Structures are given as C-alpha cells and as structure tokens.
Amino acid sequence: MNEIRTSILGIGNALVDVIIALENDTVLAKFGLPRGSMTLVDAELSRNIYKATRFNNREITTGGSAANTIHALAALGTACGYLGKTGNDELGDIFRREFEKKNIKTFLLQSEKGTGRVMAMVSPDSERTMATYLGAAADLKPEELKPEMFEGFGVLYVEGYLVQDHRLIETAVDLARQAKLKIAIDLSSFNIVEQNLAFLRRLTEEKVDIVFANEEEAFAFTGKKPDEALEKIAALCEIAVVKTGKEGSLIQRGNEKTKAKIIPALAIDTTGAGDNYAAGFLYGLMNGFSLQKCGRIAALVSGKVVEVMGAKIPDDRWPAILKTIYEMED
C-alpha cells in the first residue's frame, strides 16, 4: 500500500460530549437508562438529564464515536478524514475548528437543527452510560454522500451508532468499496446490535472487512461467549476483534488467532476506551504490524484514555505513547 492509501476516513455522528461524574446510579434508574448502554433520546429528555445532573462535576468536549477514533489516529500520526453533519451554530463551529487544528480533512455538512450532544454519565466504578440526542447528526442523508469524499483513503471506519439509518451506512460502504477502501465497523453498543441484528449480520457478511466488538456486543451479534463469538464473526469478515475488558482482547484473521493483554491502568472513566482501541489497532494495521502488536498498541491507547475524564487523551501524553509503541517488538 502506498502512503495515500493508508489514510483513514471516519463517518459518524458529529456530537458534543457532556461527561458527567455520578455519585451513584440513581439518575440512570430515574430516566430508564440501561447501565453501560447508549440510548437515543429526544431534545426534551436530553435537557431533563442535563438539569438533573447540573450540580455534578462535568466536562464538555467535542466527540462522537468515530470522531474520537479519528482524533486518536491523527495524534498517532495517521492521515485522516472525517464525514458527518453539524448544526450551523457555535458548537458546530467548535467541532470543525478542532478537526482542522489536527489537520484532519473534514467533510462536515450543515443542518438547520442544532449540533447533537451526548450526555455521558460515569458511574463510581468508571462504567459509562450514554444518552444521545442526535440533532443535526441524524440529518446526514445518503444522497449527500459523494464519490469524491472517499477518494484517496485506504479504510472507511464506520461507527455502529449510525444504524439509525440503514440506507446511509449502506450507501457510504458501497461508495467506499467502489473507491477500493477496506471497511471497518465498530458495533458500538449491545442494544444497537440487538435492535439491528439482521441488518448488521448481512452488512458484515457481504461488505465489511474488519469488525470491532466488546464482549456484550459480540454476544448480541452471535449469541456466543467471546471465544466462540470471535470465530463466528471471523467467518464473516477478514479480521474480527472481540474486546473482553480486563481480560484483554481476542483477534482473528482466517486461521490466525491471538490474544492481547491490557496494560495496567488506573481507570477513572471508560468513555472512549473502545474508540481509542480501534484507533490503536488500525494504526498498527496500516503500518503493517502483526495482529499481536496491533492488539498491544490498541491496549496501550485504550488503557491511557481511561485514566482521564473524557474520550480524548491530552496532547502532552502522546509523545510518551508514541515512544512506547516505537520500542515495542513486532
């Protein structure tokens, strides 16, 4: 692969993250939010959650699953692009400027709706539960996607949260495949998988090359525990990854299997762990590293993000991460 084809284009819901530290899980029960899940909510419920947690410690940053992955890839030195939709408002401007500051090529379309937001509530044990108001992000239409948006990239990275519009995902994947891109997808949330199982299975079998799933998502997708789930997913695509929390991750390509351990980390917030894992893994893959090293890099990056509040690793921590990667054996 030449250099231009190792660049990665992410497509996802362009959102602003409101990271909230919870003292207990009472607010989750109050609003009927399954612990550890992502739930789509309307503008009113999003406002009510905001009001109910207004005295909690919080942090506001730009986000969205694929956006987090692309930011981490850019910090690792990978050429990247991002495709999404924001509102024509201050939050949309902030979103765009943050990407441009990182030299990420943007295809940010605009909507009359406000820029979407995620209320990410972090329980005392660092588990995160998300209530997402999509706003402008949900206005991205299949007919707005153009072949030239995909030119020059090597991989299209799709966040599973986009399944609110099956035709949008399928159109993006088809345009990317026509441009000879590999397709990678993160299944994103077990309830998303359960609600869109037939579509995701067909998409994976017919059009996806790389699948990322955590233990719960893999079970929702296959009905099997991690080891068996890995084999079932790997039978449908080129590379399957099943993340098993503190046990690390399982990776399979064809008959090749490997396991990557986690790194020791003082977890205070798991927001963005999966997004950063995908970034580390794809970085390794684009550099031609072994699956084992790809898994170790992914574990390193995801391990570092859980040590901070929010889904992004601070800029001043990346040099040490890159040094560690450089010193890793393949």
Per the document, the length of the chain is 330
- Burial classification of residue 43, based on how many CB atoms lie within 10 Å of its CB (0-12 exposed, 13-18 middle, 19 or more buried): middle
Please choose, from the candidates 195, 159, 145, the residue with its C-alpha nearest in 3D space to the C-alpha of residue 70.
159
> How many whole angstroms separate alpha carbon 239 and alpha carbon 233?
8
CB 163 within 8 A of CB 134: no
CB 213 within 8 A of CB 241: yes
Span 287-323, pLDDT tens digits: 999 999 999 999 999 999 999 988 899 999 999 999 9
Give the pLDDT of residue 3.
Answer: 43
Confidence of residue 136 (pLDDT cuts 50, 70, 90): very high
Question: Is the model's pTM score more than 0.85?
Answer: yes
CB 160 within 8 A of CB 200: yes
> How many whole angstroms separate alpha carbon 104 and alpha carbon 262?
29
Strand order in the sheet with 8-11: 105-111, 80-87, 8-11, 155-159, 182-186, 210-214, 239-243, 249-253, 256-260
Angle between helices 215-222 and 197-207 (to 10 degrees): 90
Please choose, from the candidates 38, 43, 108, the residue with its C-alpha nearest in 3D space to the C-alpha of residue 70.
108
User: What would the mean pLDDT of 105-130 be, rounded to a whole number?
Assistant: 92
Please choose, from the candidates 29, 10, 248, 6, the residue with its C-alpha nearest in 3D space to the C-alpha of residue 123.
29
Span 165-191, pLDDT tens digits: 899 999 999 999 999 999 999 998 899
CATH number of 3-14+63-113+139-327: 3.40.1190.20, 3.40.640.10, 3.30.465.10, 3.40.50.150? 3.40.1190.20
Strand (E) or helix (H) holding 318 = helix 318-327
CA 120 to chain centre: 14
Q: Rounded mean pLDDT of the chain?
A: 93
Confidence of residue 271 (pLDDT cuts 50, 70, 90): confident
Domain ranges in the chain are 3-14+63-113+139-327
Span 4-23, pLDDT tens digits: 478 999 999 999 888 899 99
Is it the case that residue 83 has pLDDT exceeding 60? yes
